[in-house]
């Protein structure tokens, strides 16, 4: 079966089938322009794409996939060091960029992408184990690593989400996420092209744009949903949507509750990584619970282990590292066998590095990263996320991040960084102590104007302290 099933079998003839930043084309037009790209690059192994939020990016990515050429998305705001590393490490042979736009491909040739170019060519479907994408991860140490994602893995992920979200060709997907990550590119572009339905990428994900699009299925990250929640008129316009989905970071309970009150919708959260694609998600046919990410997708298994590899019971309380295996996993890090070995067990499980709990009914809750979000203080194991939620319940607190700071007596000291108006450190420490066990309270609270975040809204805790 073709990776882009809907596009290849029944391309949408509606002129607004694909809309990006206010410009639209039909599925037929997309297919013909992408085929023209495929004609030009066929025979290459890997090609970089300057992943701007434009129709040309969509055409370029689709054209490469039609030709069986592996796509290497390059963030348009990447600095020279990051860009040069991605181009060099990936082995890209050329760079795709919109016609008329200057693209710095270093020594590589630049292949212009034009919506005016059309072709009626049909290219044979590549093998499903062929790498479709090399996505570079933003690790906490060293240069980014390239994760090899096969056509088979992407298809399994999207089919699993179609099952979980009841995703059909009747849906209009709306989002404004970057096109160089799993969320915006794989789910947000390749999803409609495989499963059917229209796409409206609104450019910058502003609340008024989400409200005006009239979508049935909407994707966002917590910062996007927080802004929507803060704009009641925009939020109320989403009452007619079928499903709101959040990912890439934990959605604060206050935002979940606020959106439910304004839109009547209970946001579905999902969990995944660049290396695993989406593995766990709340379902459209089951009521979501705030702070949880649902159940494994079809063909995905999960389990929890402690720091010694001993299984942790699925009782909703025991915390352990989440291990996953299944059809959505990547094929390894490009040129990094050492990194592969570090994240895989001998029996085929991928070590996510995330701490989670699993309830008796199989519902998953992500506590945080093992490296920064599992705090060992005074002999206790404390999940940073639980303390963050307690802080966010205070009316003065708008943002919160909790880390463990080395402490000679406790091992690690629970330390909070907050964006708040009119609250004092003792007040917030006491507030948390009244909601949680006393040993979970922050010992220190630091006040900031804003928390450091990356392009997907994830707090960069390595920059705190």
> Is residue 138 very low, low, confident or very high in pLDDT (cuts 50, 70, 90)?
low
What is the reported pLDDT for 19? 98
Percent of the chain with pLDDT over 90: 71
Q: Is the pLDDT of residue 126 over 50?
A: yes
For 350-379, write each residue's pLDDT tens digit: 999 999 999 999 999 998 777 767 787 876
The full 3-state SS of 275-294, as one line of letters, equals CCEEEEECCCCCCCCCCCCE
Query: CA-CA distance, 176 to 158, in Å (whole number)?
Result: 19
pLDDT band for position 380 (cuts 50, 70, 90)? low
pLDDT score of 142? 61
pLDDT digits (tens, 9 = 90+) for 382-401: 878 778 888 988 999 998 99
- Close Cβ partners of 377 (under 8 Å, ≥ 6 residues apart): 404, 407, 410, 411, 412, 413, 414, 439
d(CA 256, CA 183): 19
Rounded average pLDDT over 21-47: 97
pLDDT confidence band for 57 (50 / 70 / 90): very high
> By the 8 A CB rule, do 199 and 192 touch?
yes
How many C-beta neighbours within 10 Å does residue 206 have?
16
The three-class DSSP label of residue 190 is: helix
Residue 141 has pLDDT above 60, yes or no: no
Tokens standing for residue 66: 């039609």
Query: CB-side exposure of 16: number of CA atoms within 13 Å?
Result: 10
- Average pLDDT score over residue span 53-60: 97
User: pLDDT tens digits, residue range 259-299?
Assistant: 999 999 999 999 999 999 999 999 999 999 999 999 999 99
Packed helices 253-263 and 384-392: angle between N→C axes, nearest 10 degrees: 50
Strands (E), 114-231: 131-137, 145-150, 172-175, 198-201, 217-220
- Extract the tokens encoding 402: 């909790």
Say whether pLDDT at 102 is over 70. no
pLDDT the model gives residue 455: 66
- Domains in the chain, start-ordered, CATH in brackets? 5-187 (3.40.50.12780), 374-463 (3.30.300.30)
| 408-451 tens-digit pLDDT | 777 789 999 999 998 999 999 999 888 887 888 999 999 999 88
Q: Is the pLDDT of residue 117 over 80?
A: yes
State the pLDDT at residue 440.
87
| pLDDT at 460 (0 to 100) | 83
pLDDT of 139 strictly over 60: no
Residues in the chain: 465
pLDDT at 140 over 60: no
pLDDT at 229 > cutoff 60: yes
* 402 pLDDT more than 80: yes
* 182 in Cβ contact with 248 (< 8 Å): no
Instruction: Give me the percent of the chain exceeding a pLDDT of 70.
Output: 96
**pTM of structure:** 0.84
Q: What is the mean pLDDT of the chain?
A: 91
């Amino acid at each position: 079966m073709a990776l882009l099933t809907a596009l290849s079998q029944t391309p949408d003839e509606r002129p607004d089938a694909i809309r990006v930043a206010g410009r639209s084309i039909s599925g037929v037009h997309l297919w013909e322009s992408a085929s023209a790209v495929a004609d030009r690059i066929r025979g290459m192994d890997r090609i970089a794409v300057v992943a701007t939020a434009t129709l040309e990016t969509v055409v370029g990515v689709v054209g490469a996939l039609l030709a069986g050429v592996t796509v290497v998305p390059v963030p348009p705001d990447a600095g020279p060091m990051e860009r040069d590393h991605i181009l060099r490490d990936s082995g890209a042979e050329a760079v795709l960029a919109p016609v008329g736009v200057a693209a710095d491909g270093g020594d590589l040739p630049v292949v212009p992408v034009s919506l005016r170019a059309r072709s009626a060519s049909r290219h044979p479907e590549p093998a499903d184990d062929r790498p479709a994408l090399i996505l570079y991860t933003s690790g906490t140490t060293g240069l980014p690593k390239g994760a090899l994602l096969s056509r088979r893995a992407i298809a399994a992920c999207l089919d699993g989400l179609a099952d979980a979200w009841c995703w059909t060709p009747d849906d209009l997907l709306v989002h404004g996420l970057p096109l160089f990550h799993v969320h915006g590119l794989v789910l947000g572009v390749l999803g409609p092209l495989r499963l059917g339905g229209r796409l409206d990428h609104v450019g910058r994900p502003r609340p008024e744009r989400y409200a005006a699009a009239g979508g049935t299925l909407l994707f966002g990250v917590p910062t996007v949903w927080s802004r929507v929640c803060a704009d009641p008129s925009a939020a109320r316009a989403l009452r007619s949507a079928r499903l709101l989905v959040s990912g890439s970071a934990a959605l604060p309970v206050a935002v979940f509750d606020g959106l439910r009150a304004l839109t009547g919708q209970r946001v579905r959260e999902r969990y995944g990584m660049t290396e695993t694609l989406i593995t766990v998600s709340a379902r459209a046919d089951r009521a979501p619970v705030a702070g949880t990410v649902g159940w494994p997708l079809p063909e995905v298994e999960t389990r929890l282990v402690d720091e010694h590899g001993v299984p942790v019971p699925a009782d909703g309380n025991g915390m352990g590292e989440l291990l996953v295996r299944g059809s959505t996993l990547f094929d390894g890090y490009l040129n990094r066998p050492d990194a592969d070995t570090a994240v895989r067990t001998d029996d085929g499980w991928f070590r996510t590095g995330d701490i989670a709990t699993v309830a008796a009914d199989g519902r998953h809750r992500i506590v945080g990263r093992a490296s920064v979000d599992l705090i060992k203080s005074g002999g206790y194991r404390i999940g940073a996320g639980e303390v963050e939620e307690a802080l966010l319940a205070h009316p003065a607190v708008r943002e919160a991040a909790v880390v463990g700071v080395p402490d000679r007596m406790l091992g690690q000291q629970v330390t909070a960084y907050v964006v708040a108006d009119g609250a004092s450190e003792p007040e917030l420490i006491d507030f948390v102590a009244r909601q949680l066990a006393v040993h979970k309270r922050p010992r220190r609270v630091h006040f900031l104007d804003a928390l450091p975040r990356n392009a997907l809204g994830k707090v960069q805790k390595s920059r705190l302290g």
